[in-house]
């Protein structure tokens, strides 16, 4: 019979909620009338691992509108459809250092500075396939649903409110149109964008969506490839420098996770290769970021060393052991081997590839090898050639085929 116990990760998330709960500064967004009606006390967090394990605490299942948290995911869809070169003809990749609704256009090209501000996000939405707003939004909604792993709905009251108060966004869209950046009419682009922002999600949805970026574009709960690995990497990079508006630099110093906030109260954060986090708390600071959401993610990062630039000490050596065997030196390799590990292997072991014997590189205990690094190891026997007696200087033993092309 299983023992009834609290999962340690749940305890962690609950403690983060306790850290943020006393904070009462900030206010709900009221420039969109429907957003002013939300419960300011709602507070939730969810963490989803790259294996698809879901951990929730607090109000993680309360629905709210995704707002600007949709921006990186729609960017990812556009990148997957058109590629980086085409997308960046229309929108830049540089931080603006300005509020989300600022007029931030490149002085030379006229492009919006990045896809995380409103002007750039409307350009990104305009790039999605479809001649009408409904057609574009159908593609966007399908993509967001594949990121979340479930069907999503539009909060029509919020959409109506967005539409009736969206004159500034229309003005930004007209500016983008005047520079040739907008890929659709203003009416089509803004209508698709307003509806995109009005999609209802939960903190759990955001965590799954973030985990999909963390795993290189594969939803870890459905196992569906949603976008390409390139699109996931490019999107995460833009989130790193631009995701928290004019607070992005401070965010990266204090938290160090690629993230995106929205005025609906959500924040999505990515730990590449490991997990995604979604938070929900509607009170916003002066920059439009959730006060409690920022506090929760700061607490998690500082307590558990989540900063993506943290130094975690010397990695384990990929060379498990060296032994002599019938005139050969056998190097038992282990773990995951990417460029840094390959550099150590070649630096330490290349001197052993000489006329006195043969070096055997045994990959039996290796779990994963970087794609480009595979090519280096497959080429080793040809690169080092043979001894003067015609024997190979190096042999690669790969019983599980970890060096096979993926």
The domain made up of 8-304 is a member of CATH 3.90.870.10: no
Give the mean model confidence (pLDDT) for residues 167-179: 90
Which of these, 13, 59, 56, lies nearest to 282 by C-alpha position? 59
Give the mean model confidence (pLDDT) for residues 194-203: 97
Which of these, 109, 114, 124, 106, lies nearest to 244 by C-alpha position? 114
Phi-psi region of 121 (alpha: psi -120 to 50; beta: other; left: phi over 0): alpha
Do 8-304 and 319-397 come out as alike in CATH topology?
no
Which of these, 224, 247, 219, 252, lies nearest to 237 by C-alpha position? 252
User: Which one of 28, 46, 60, 71 is the catalytic residue?
Assistant: 71
pTM of the full predicted structure?
0.89
Model confidence at 3, pLDDT cuts 50, 70, 90, reads very low
Catalytic residue at 71?
yes
Question: How do residues 259-310 score in pLDDT, each as one tens digit?
Answer: 999 999 999 999 999 999 999 999 999 888 999 999 999 999 999 999 988 8
Question: What CATH fold (topology level) applies to the domain 319-397?
Answer: Transcription Regulator spoIIAA (3.30.750)
Catalytic residue at 68?
yes
User: Which one of 46, 68, 96, 104 is the catalytic residue?
Assistant: 68
* Structure tokens that stand for 319 in this block: 């060379």
Question: How do residues 15-45 score in pLDDT, each as one tens digit?
Answer: 999 999 999 999 998 888 888 888 999 999 9
Catalytic residue at 374?
no
pLDDT in the model for residue 97: 64
User: Which one of 69, 91, 186, 193 is the catalytic residue?
Assistant: 193
Please report, for the chain, the start and end positions of each structural domain, with discontinuous segments joined by +: 8-304, 319-397
User: Which one of 69, 263, 291, 369 is the catalytic residue?
Assistant: 263
Upper half-sphere CA count for residue 103 (Cβ side, 13 Å): 10
Q: Which residues pair with 270 in a beta bridge?
A: 276
pLDDT in the model for residue 189: 96
């Amino acid at each position: 019979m299983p023992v009834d116990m609290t999962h340690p990760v749940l305890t962690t998330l609950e403690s983060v909620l306790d850290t943020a709960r006393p904070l009462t500064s900030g206010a709900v967004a009221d420039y969109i009338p429907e957003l002013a009606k939300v419960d300011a006390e709602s507070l939730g967090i969810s963490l989803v691992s790259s294996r698809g394990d879901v951990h929730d605490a607090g109000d993680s299942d309360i629905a709210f509108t995704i707002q600007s948290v949709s921006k990186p995911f729609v960017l990812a869809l556009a990148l997957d459809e058109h590629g980086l070169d085409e997308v960046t003809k229309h929108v830049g990749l540089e931080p603006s250092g300005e509020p989300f609704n600022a007029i931030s256009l490149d002085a030379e090209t006229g492009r919006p500075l990045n896809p995380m501000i409103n002007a750039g996000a409307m350009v990104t939405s305009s790039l999605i396939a479809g001649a009408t707003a409904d057609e574009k939004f159908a593609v966007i909604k399908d993509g967001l649903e594949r990121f979340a792993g479930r069907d999503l709905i539009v909060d029509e009251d919020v959409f109506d409110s967005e539409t009736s108060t969206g004159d500034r966004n229309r003005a930004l869209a007209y500016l983008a149109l005047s520079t040739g950046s907008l890929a659709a009419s203003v009416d089509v682009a803004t209508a698709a964008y307003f509806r995109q922002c009005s999609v209802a999600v939960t903190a759990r949805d955001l965590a799954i969506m973030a985990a999909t970026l963390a795993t290189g574009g594969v939803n870890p709960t459905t196992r569906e490839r949603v976008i390409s690995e390139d699109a996931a990497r490019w999107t995460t990079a833009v989130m790193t420098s631009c995701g928290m508006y004019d607070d992005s630099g401070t965010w990266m110093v204090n938290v160090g996770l690629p993230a995106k906030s929205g005025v609906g109260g959500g924040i999505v954060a990515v730990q590449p290769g490991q997990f995604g986090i979604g938070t929900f708390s509607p009170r916003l600071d002066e920059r439009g970021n959730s006060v409690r959401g920022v506090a929760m993610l700061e607490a998690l990062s500082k307590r558990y060393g989540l900063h993506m630039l943290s130094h975690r000490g010397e990695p384990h050596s990929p060379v498990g052991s060296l032994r002599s065997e019938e005139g050969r030196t056998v190097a038992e390799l282990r773990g995951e081997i990417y460029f840094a590990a390959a550099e150590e292997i070649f630096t330490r072991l290349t001197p052993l590839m000489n006329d006195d014997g043969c070096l055997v590189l045994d990959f039996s205990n290796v779990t994963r090898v970087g794609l480009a690094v595979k090519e280096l190891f497959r080429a080793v026997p040809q690169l080092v050639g043979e001894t003067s007696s015609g024997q190979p200087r190096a042999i690669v033993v790969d019983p599980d085929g970890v060096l096979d092309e993926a």
